[in-house]
Amino acid sequence: MSVMTWKKPLISLLLIFFVQLGHAQLDRYKYIVVPLQFEGFKMENQFRTSTLIKYLFTQEGFNVVYDDKIPGDLATKPCSGLKVRLVDNSSMLATRVKLALEDCYGQVVFETPEGKSKLKEFEPAYREAIEGAFTVLVGTGYSYNPSETRDDVGPPPPPTQAERLLNPPPGKAEPAAVGAAAAVAVEKAATTEADAEAPELWYAQPVDNGFQLVDSGPKVQMKLVKTTQEHTFIAMVNDAPMGMVYQKEGQWWHEYYEEGKVQLRKLRIKF
């Protein structure tokens, strides 16, 4: 089998996974916020980009508002909305755009593939490129699920033993004389808790197109197939695709789709 033969279904599989994952994530948000003027443009609704994008999202059942008409509940809970960012990679030869949806922390929750047009006039060119990018969102079956928004994350977890030692209740602060002993106790408690929560360490062994992860057995637990993104792999479990493995802030995560919900688990990998 040639390299191109296996790469085509792999790329399609990767695209399908990201689309399904993104669709599931969109259900967490009540609003789509469309700027009246996108970054890089000189005037509001230039080339009718804002009205077109609002129309396309509205057609798919999303609750869409302009950024100058924020509803009261969205103003109170800004994390219940996603803001549209127009990623413009146009050149003299073609109009190329993506639509990125950012949460209240500025993190991209969903990004479309690039839509492009070679039309010479700006307005029809942007329309064709935006509609091409938006194709991936057609037929999403969007249904708002407020139970998963970042505004409804619930009360914080109880303090750990280490946190209790570092932050005793008012009036019960540790005397200075026992500072050294407290520091040792904090370190020990933190280490014990981290070890209890830490997943099993897996070792990455290079194979064709990526790595295989083996435990101390050694037994192969998972295979990682390289993608075009650095530190991002397709996860293969029992030779079947099962989401993605990626690194974020020095920590490895396995994110996959199961029974209609996004699952996330921490991994410890030694390369």
Looking at 85, 120, 150, the residue that finishes a domain is 150
Peptide bond into 218 cis (omega under 30): yes
- Please state, in angstroms and rounded to a whole number, the distance separating the CA atoms of residues 205 and 214: 8
Tell me which of 150, 167, 189 is where a domain ends.
150
Residues 118 and 52 grouped into a single domain: yes
Residue 170 vs residues 174, 187, 189, 201, 252: alpha-carbon distances, Å: 10, 22, 21, 40, 38
Q: Report the number of distinct structural domains present in the chain.
A: 2
Instruction: Name 110's bridge partners.
Output: 101
Asked if the structure places residue 177 within a domain, the reply is: no
Domain co-membership, 138 together with 222: no
Q: Are residues 43 and 125 in the same domain?
A: yes
Q: Are 27 and 137 in contact (CB under 8 A)?
A: no
- Do residues 16 and 144 share a domain? yes
Q: What is the pLDDT along the chain (271 residues), one digit of tens a residue?
A: 444 444 555 444 444 444 444 455 788 899 999 999 999 999 999 999 999 999 999 999 999 999 999 999 888 888 899 999 999 999 989 999 999 999 888 888 889 999 999 999 999 999 999 999 999 888 877 888 876 444 444 444 455 444 444 455 554 444 444 455 555 555 554 444 444 456 889 989 998 888 999 988 888 999 998 887 888 888 888 888 888 899 988 899 998 877 767 788 899 999 8
Is residue 73 within 8 A of residue 80, CB to CB? The reply is yes
**Minimal CA–CA distance to 30: which of 86, 91, 72, 2?**
72
How far is residue 37 CA from its own chain's centroid?
Answer: 25
Residues 18 and 101 in one domain: yes
CATH number at residue 37: 3.40.50
Both 221 and 97 in one domain: the answer is no
Query: 143 with 240, same domain?
Result: no
Q: Give pLDDT, residue 257.
A: 76
138 and 53 fall within a common domain? yes
Which residue has 């990623």 as its token pair? 87
Q: Is residue 260 part of a domain?
A: yes
Exposed/middle/buried for 65, CB within 10 Å: 0-12, 13-18, 19+?
Answer: middle
> Do 143 and 53 lie in a common domain?
yes
Q: Answer whether residue 16 is part of any domain.
A: yes
Domain co-membership, 114 together with 25: yes
The residues that bridge with 34 in the sheet, in sequence order, are: 66
Q: What is the pLDDT of residue 76?
A: 87
Q: Considering the domain boundaries, does residue 185 fall inside one?
A: no
Domain that holds residue 233: 201-270
Do 138 and 35 belong together in one domain?
A: yes
What's the predicted TM-score (pTM) here? Answer: 0.51
Structural domain ending residue among the three candidates 107, 128, 150: 150
| Residue type at 130 in one-letter notation | I
Residues 18 and 112 in one domain: yes
